[in-house]
Amino acid sequence: MKIFSRFAIFVGLGVLLSGCAASSPTFLNSASLIAGHEASLYWEIFIETLIIFILIIGAFIWIFIRDRDRCGKKIVPPQIYGKLAWAAVPLLAIVLLDGADFVAMARTMFAVAPPAASSQDIQLHVIGHRWWWEFDYKDQNIVTANELHIPVGATVQITLDSVDVIHSFWVPQLTGKTDVIPGQTNHMWITSDQIGEFLGQCTEFCGTEHAMMRIKAVVQSQADFDAWVANQQKPAAQPKTDLEQAGHTTVTTLCASCHSLNPAEPEEKTGPNLTHLFSRSIFAGGTYDLNDANLRSWLKDPQAMKPGNDMGVTLSPAQIDQLAAYLELLK
Ligand code: CUA
């Protein structure tokens, strides 16, 4: 029975691991120059340690078999004392391996050093909030949340700040991890060589919803990025029906202390910029897909969907209908 349960565990693990396919958000599925260098360094050190592991465990197994107790006959293996080589060879091996690792690491560090700034670079200000990400495109004069857009091949110079506690920004397939610290501006950069969507995550524990502080990075062609920027720069959609008008009034009164309807309103707001809310596919720090059903559940009881978040208003069913009608216009 035991053997069957073990077999089931192995099969289960196999199925689970097979889920780690090409879309898995790991730097080993590199979509950028930085992650590519990280992956090369990882494999170099992994293969090196695997060889050492096999040699050492192989030697152990060989000695265990060679010197095993044979039918009660005790075997005394050769006893070695005072041989300099037994200390010198491992020491030399450690020095050589550590030296090789140091060179590989230094080479990687130089390779991922930020390139010289150019006027073509995209300047992105990332701001950590509990528990969502704000993305402020300085030159394009737009602000968005949780979903980050960049053109393929472009160098994106990123500055990182936090308005509250320490967060950490990491989209493994695109770039290394950088802490986002209140009172200290950190810098990083991205150049992605692959069009696609890449997931990221806050990687510094920042409170109860730390795990729900996600990032979706959308790498797109220059033309698609330009179209995205042009859309984000537009003012918020105007209400047409009475229902939408009522929703608009609520957004510009009740919601306005935390949310902005100005596409360029910078980071000081408590909640995400709503100007083009429905151009995004996710909300609430990337916790949920953005659709009518999830939006209505959120408006009804945001604390049930993401306990501890800053949104604490109570809305009537009529207000929820009005808000949903208006917010869904904000493409
Ligand atoms: Cu922000 Cu963890």
Spans of all domains in the chain: 24-112, 119-331
Q: What's the CATH superfamily of 119-331?
A: Cupredoxins -  blue copper proteins (2.60.40.420)
Q: Is 173 helix (H, G, I), strand (E, B) or coil?
A: coil
Which class does domain 24-112 fall in? Answer: mainly alpha
- Report the DSSP pairing between strands 147-151 and 214-220: parallel
Instruction: Report CA(209)–ligand 1 centroid distance (Å).
Output: 7
Q: How would you class 203 by CB atoms within 10 Å of its CB: exposed for 0-12, middle for 13-18, buried for 19 or more?
A: middle
Q: Residues 259-281: pLDDT tens digits? A: 988 888 766 678 899 999 999 99
Q: Residues 72-103: pLDDT tens digits? A: 777 788 888 888 998 899 899 999 999 999 99
Bridge-partner residues for 184, per DSSP? 181
Q: What is the pTM of this model?
A: 0.84
Instruction: Report CA(201)–ligand 1 centroid distance (Å).
Output: 8
Residue 213 Cα: closest atom of ligand 1: 1
HSE, side-chain direction, 13 A CA sphere, residue 136: 18
State the average pLDDT over residues 160-176.
95
Tell me the two tokens of residue 285: 């720090």
Instruction: Report CA(142)–ligand 1 centroid distance (Å).
Output: 23
DSSP letter for 9, please.
H
Comparing C-alpha atoms, which of 317, 321, 224, 202 is closest to residue 279? 224
State the average pLDDT over residues 219-223.
96
Residue 130 Cα: closest atom of ligand 1: 1
Does residue 147 carry a pLDDT above 70?
A: yes
User: What is the pLDDT, as a whole number, of residue 229?
Assistant: 96
How far is residue 56 CA from its own chain's centroid? 36
Distance separating alpha carbons of residues 184 and 209, to the nearest angstrom: 23
Q: Tell me the backbone φ, ψ of residue 293, rounded to 5 degrees.
A: -65, -45
Average confidence score pLDDT of the chain: 89
User: What is the pLDDT, as a whole number, of residue 269?
Assistant: 73
Instruction: Report CA(127)–ligand 1 centroid distance (Å).
Output: 11
User: What is the pLDDT, as a whole number, of residue 207?
Assistant: 94
Q: Ligand 1: residues whose CB is within 6 Å?
A: 128, 131, 167, 202, 204-206, 210, 213
State the average pLDDT over residues 101-125.
91
Does residue 4 carry a pLDDT above 70?
A: no
Residue 206 Cα: closest atom of ligand 1: 2
Does residue 22 carry a pLDDT above 90?
A: no
State the average pLDDT over residues 318-328.
92
Low-confidence winner among 19-28, 156-165, 240-249, 287-296 (lowest mean pLDDT)? 19-28
Would you place residue 129 in the very low, low, confident or very high pLDDT band (cuts 50, 70, 90)?
Answer: very high
Do the domains 119-331 and 24-112 match in fold? no
User: What is the pLDDT, as a whole number, of residue 5?
Assistant: 59
- Report the DSSP pairing between strands 214-220 and 178-180: unpaired
Q: Which residue's CA is the closest to the ligand 1 atom numbered 1?
A: 167
CB 299 within 8 A of CB 320: yes
